Amino acid sequence: MRKLLHPVSITLIVLIMLFSLPFMFSKKDLQLSDAQLRKAAHNHNLKAVPKSYEEILKVTSNPSHPPSQDKIALGKQLFFDTRLSRDKSISCATCHILNEGGDDNLPTAIGYHGRGNPKHLNSPTVLNAALAKAQFWDGRAKDVEEQAGGPVQAPFEM
């Protein structure tokens, strides 16, 4: 009985200490006011998401591919078009569900014939993607124009 008591006592002491740790240290108030958040964002050169079409054009316009209403309409049509996939079953909207945050909420993206992304990556959101400094998780495309051809040509995606 004495041999059993020793490991049990040590285990109990360790468990008590672990559960006591949060109470041993004071909690720092992590609440920031709107003014503090704005100042922190400004100090890190972050800018607000544009609110009007004209403001969006200022930050997303690509001089070699200037946007237009016709291009935007075509992009929307292509985003939902399954004819871009090899077996005509997948569109961009399959993995980038706009009503669900612009992604598919899966740990690994599933594409053509149920194949998972070979690098075990999930589908990034497409919401505000034109405002990103680079595209894809590894940043290999500099803008959305360059990114658009990738999934269509990737054998495991479309």
pLDDT tens-digit series, residues 4-27: 556 666 777 777 777 676 666 655
pTM: 0.64
Give the integer Cα–Cα distance in Å for 121 and 102: 15
Catalytic residue among 55, 145, 146, 157: 157
Domain layout of the chain by residue ranges? 32-61, 68-153
Burial level of 103, CB count in 10 A (0-12/13-18/19+)? Answer: middle
Section 68-74 average pLDDT: 87
Question: In this model, does residue 97 exceed pLDDT 90?
Answer: yes
- Judge whether 157 counts as a catalytic residue: yes
Encode pLDDT of 78-93 as tens digits.
999 999 898 999 999 9
Which residues, at least 6 apart from 107, have a Cβ–Cβ distance to it below 8 Å? 120, 122
Give the integer Cα–Cα distance in Å for 88 and 156: 14
The per-residue pLDDT for 23 is 66
The domain defined by 68-153 folds into Cytochrome Bc1 Complex; Chain D, domain 2 (1.10.760)
